[in-house]
C-alpha cells in the first residue's frame, strides 16, 4: 500500500491543477528552475563546510579536542566515546551519524554509550550546517546572535540527553 502513496499524491496534484486550469507542466518546470537556482547558490557553502569537516576529522583535530574536553564532560556522566559525536553533530549530520554508528558498534546499542549516542543524534540538530545553508542562500553576512544560540541549544540537547539516558536506563 505504501508504494502507491507517492504516485497517487502526484496524480492527485496533477488532476487538481488541471481542474483549476493551471498549466501543470509549466508550473513544474518553473519550480524545478527555482530549485536549481537555490542549489547553485547554496552549493559552494555546502562544499566548503563538508570539506572543512572532513579535513578536521582526517587531521585528528576532533580526537584531540575530545581528549581535552573529556574531563569537562565527566561530571555530567557523558561517556568519553560520545564526545566526538557532540563535537561533530552541529556541523555534519552524516559525519555524526557515522560516529554514532561507530559508538554503537564498539559499545553495543544497549550500552550507556550506545543509548546516549542515539538520544544525542535525535535530540540535536546540525545547527551550524543549517545556519550556513540559510545564511548562504539569504546572503547573510552577520550571524552574531544565531550562531551562539544554535550552539547553546545543541549543548543543552547533549546535556539533557545525558541526564535523560542516565535517569531511564
Confidence band (pLDDT; 50, 70, 90) for 117?
Answer: very high
C-alpha distances (whole Å) from 71 to each of 46, 80, 96 are: 33, 9, 21
pLDDT tens for 65-92 read 888 988 888 888 888 889 888 988 998 8
Domain ranges of the chain: 38-168
Confidence band (pLDDT; 50, 70, 90) for 3?
Answer: confident
**Average pLDDT, stretch 47-63?**
82
Residues of the chain with pLDDT > 70: what percent? 99
Amino acid at each position: 500500500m505504501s508504494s502507491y502513496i507517492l504516485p497517487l499524491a502526484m496524480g492527485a496534484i496533477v488532476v487538481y491543477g488541471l481542474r483549476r486550469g493551471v498549466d501543470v507542466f509549466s508550473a513544474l518546470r518553473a519550480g524545478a528552475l527555482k530549485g536549481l537556482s537555490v542549489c547553485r547558490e547554496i552549493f559552494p557553502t555546502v562544499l566548503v563546510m563538508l570539506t572543512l569537516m572532513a579535513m578536521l576529522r582526517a587531521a585528528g583535530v576532533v580526537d584531540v579536542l575530545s581528549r581535552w574536553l573529556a574531563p569537562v564532560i565527566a561530571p555530567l556522566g557523558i561517556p568519553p566515546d560520545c564526545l566526538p559525536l557532540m563535537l561533530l553533530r552541529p556541523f555534519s549530520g552524516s559525519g555524526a551519524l557515522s560516529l554514532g554508528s561507530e559508538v554503537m558498534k564498539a559499545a553495543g546499542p544497549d550500552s550507556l554509550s550506545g543509548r546516549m549516542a542515539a538520544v544525542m543524534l535525535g535530540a540535536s540538530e546540525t545547527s551550524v550546517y543549517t545556519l550556513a545553508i540559510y545564511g548562504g542562500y539569504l546572503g547573510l553576512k552577520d550571524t552574531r546572535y544565531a550562531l551562539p544560540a544554535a550552539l547553546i541549544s545543541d549543548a543543552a540537547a547533549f546535556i539533557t540527553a545525558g541526564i535523560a539516558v542516565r535517569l531511564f536506563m
